[in-house]
Amino acid sequence: MFAGIDQLGLFIVAGLLLNLTPGPDVLYIVSSGLRGGWRAGAVAAMGITAGCFVHVAAATVGLGALVSASAAAFTVLKWAGAAYLLYIGGTMLLARAGKDAPLAASAPAQVPPGAAPQPLVKVFAQGFWTNTLNPKVALFFLAFLPQFIHPDAPHKTWTFLLLGLVFIVNSVPVNLGYGLAAAWLSGRFAALRRGMAWLERGVGALFIYFGIRLALAERPTP
């Protein structure tokens, strides 16, 4: 037992596998890498990671438990998250192709030709809110982390916080990998670059799907 953690190795492996599972966070990172290159993909990954810090901190001080126990709190956060995902998806669906984007041969290789790059601050902020406004992430930490806290742990709150930090650290290389892989694919396949506008609309439709699914989600029974 390390610092009250039970089966640390299993926790790390399970965390890596869970981070590999596609969802709104992964979709946002991949779409950012495809549209804006490796820098945008990496910044999106950091925005998602920053959102995880909020959930871990909230769960540690008890706010996550409030969301889990209170139907009203869960509903407010659920609708806020769903509205944000629908907003992002609608923006992508209605966006016009970047006609004013630089198409010169000297354009940086990390930005796909024809793509309209977003400010990195905006990329980070969207990633942050995509994660922060998802109540399922808060409930995940509340349900998953306590399973690896030893019953005899002397300071269960600090053990919970430590587990959350370990999970976040493990998520960084996975998230960065998704962003860099998406940027690499976009930079290597001309057909993917030519279809960037349609790809963005497809990603927008998926965000709308995730938003609707979140809006229809029921609060888990304690």
pLDDT top residue among 161 and 80: 161
- Lowest mean pLDDT segment, chosen from 27-41, 64-78, 150-164: 64-78
pTM of the model: 0.71
The predicted-structure confidence for 80-137, as pLDDT tens digits, reads as follows: 878 877 887 888 777 654 443 333 333 344 444 444 567 899 999 999 999 998 877 8
Q: How many residues does the chain have?
A: 222
Closest CA to 27 of 220, 217, 203, 145: 203
Check whether 199 has a pLDDT greater than 70. no
Closest CA to 1 of 141, 151, 146: 151
89: β partners = none
Confidence of residue 195 (pLDDT cuts 50, 70, 90): low
pLDDT top residue among 79 and 219: 79
